[in-house]
Amino acid sequence: MKTSEIAKIIGAEIPQDLDDLNIDGLKSPESANESDIVFLSNPKLRDSIESSRAKVVIVKKGTSISGKICLEVEDPYLGYAKVAQLFENTSSLFTDGISPYAIIDPDAVIDKSVSIGPGSVIGKDVHIGAGCKIGANCVIEKGTRIGSSCRIDSGAVIRWETSIGNNVIIQSGVVIGSDGFGNAREGSKYVRIPCFGNVVIEDGVEIGANTTIDRGNLEPTLIGKGVKIDNLVHIAHNVIVGEDTAIVAQVGISGSTVIGKRVILAGQAGCVGHIEIGDDAFVGAKAGISKSVPVRGKVTGYPARDFMTMRRIEAAQSSLPDLLKEVKRLKDEILKLKRLDT
């Protein structure tokens, strides 16, 4: 691919007097050859770019590096993402088409452009749209609908009647549509509550390895458009996650909680059930959220508080042992003063 084509795709001006090199890969500065492109998103790494063999560099507007062809963009990290997509190898991991070792129910409806790896099991009345790539040893249970251009990686399990949009990525070991953890109590015994809802996953969602998403009790669990979910995340029954929200690894969201749009839930945070996290909110890593968070709220800590409040409390905590001593000292001084006064 020509440097000029890449420039166009990432929205960089074509450099003057461009030596329009052919680029055949995106690499780290250390591993790059002359025909690779690299990027500079962190100014601290400028040295490694200068000493790299790469000739073409994606940089922030206004940056020039001597001896390099600089493609200037507002956000070099975004430029990197777009170029990485250009060079992604999207060929089948197994044979093209449906492996003869896949087990497909005769009542499944599968577009002829779909690839399915060996050992995958596709149930009754499953529909799979054009361009989907399904790995090996996946299970897609009966009645599930999958749109077009989805990627379902080896070992994922999509349980019955799940609804999946277009351009969805579901990584290995993910379980979608497991039963919710709902139990009524009769004396000291729990009584299981079967779930009749399903899971609905909208377009452009990505779900990391070994994450679990439970089906709803009566209505669906809903993952909105463009939501990005990392590994080992737990999303309970009836949860609704708004569009373009990002959920980092090992986060847990309890039943019936509603997460807004463009929220960020940092790693290992947890939300109790039946609360709302407002649009554009930010929840810090490991935060324990037991109350609703307002729109654009920024909370952290355990129990979670407003971000700046929490930072002040944390700073004060460091002084706490000294404070105890100080108060003791003051108490003694007051005692002395009282004696003087009497």
Which of the residues 217 through 246 are near a second copy (CB under 8 A)? 217-219, 226, 228, 230-232, 234, 236, 244, 246
Q: Which of 37, 58, 110, 169 binds a second copy (CB under 8 A)?
A: 169
Residue placing its CB nearer to a second copy in the complex, 21 or 263: 263
Instruction: Report the candidate in 231, 245, 249 with the shortest Cα–Cα distance to residue 276.
Output: 245
Under the binding rule (CB under 8 A), the answer on residue 33 touching a second copy is: no
Is residue 79 exposed (0-12), middle (13-18) or buried (19+ Cβ within 10 Å)? buried
Number of neighbouring beta carbons within 10 Å of residue 249 = 17
Residue placing its CB nearer to a second copy in the complex, 18 or 267: 267
The tokens for 194 are: 């079967």
Q: How far is the C-alpha of 326 from the C-alpha of 294, rounded, in Å?
A: 38
Residue placing its CB nearer to a second copy in the complex, 64 or 85: 85
Residue placing its CB nearer to a second copy in the complex, 20 or 172: 172
Task: Provide the minimum distance between the beta carbon of 220 and a second copy in the complex, in angstroms, as a whole number.
Answer: 10
* CA atoms within a 13 Å half-sphere pointing along the CA-CB vector of 21: 17
- Taking residues 250 to 289 in sequence order and writing x for each that binds a second copy by CB under 8 A, - otherwise, the string is x-x-x------xx----xx-x-x------------xx-x-
Residue placing its CB nearer to a second copy in the complex, 4 or 250: 250
Q: Which of 18, 175, 276, 278 binds a second copy (CB under 8 A)?
A: 175
Task: Provide the minimum distance between the beta carbon of 5 and a second copy in the complex, in angstroms, as a whole number.
Answer: 18
Instruction: Report the candidate in 235, 230, 208, 215 with the shortest Cα–Cα distance to residue 141.
Output: 215
Residues numbered 292-311 forming contacts with a second copy, rule: CB under 8 A? 301-303, 305, 309
Residue placing its CB nearer to a second copy in the complex, 16 or 320: 320
Q: Which of 203, 249, 276, 278 binds a second copy (CB under 8 A)?
A: 249
Angle among Cα 175, 251, 303 to the nearest 5 degrees reads 150
Q: Is 237 known to be catalytic? A: yes
Under the binding rule (CB under 8 A), the answer on residue 117 touching a second copy is: yes
Q: How far is the C-alpha of 131 from the C-alpha of 304, rounded, in Å?
A: 44
Q: How far is the C-alpha of 137 from the C-alpha of 102, rounded, in Å?
A: 8
* Contact residues for 81 (Cβ-Cβ < 8 A; gap 6+): none
* Contact residues for 47 (Cβ-Cβ < 8 A; gap 6+): none
Both ends of the chain: CA-CA distance in Å? 92
Under the binding rule (CB under 8 A), the answer on residue 182 touching a second copy is: yes
Under the binding rule (CB under 8 A), the answer on residue 141 touching a second copy is: yes
Task: Provide the minimum distance between the beta carbon of 114 and a second copy in the complex, in angstroms, as a whole number.
Answer: 18
Residues involved in catalysis: 237
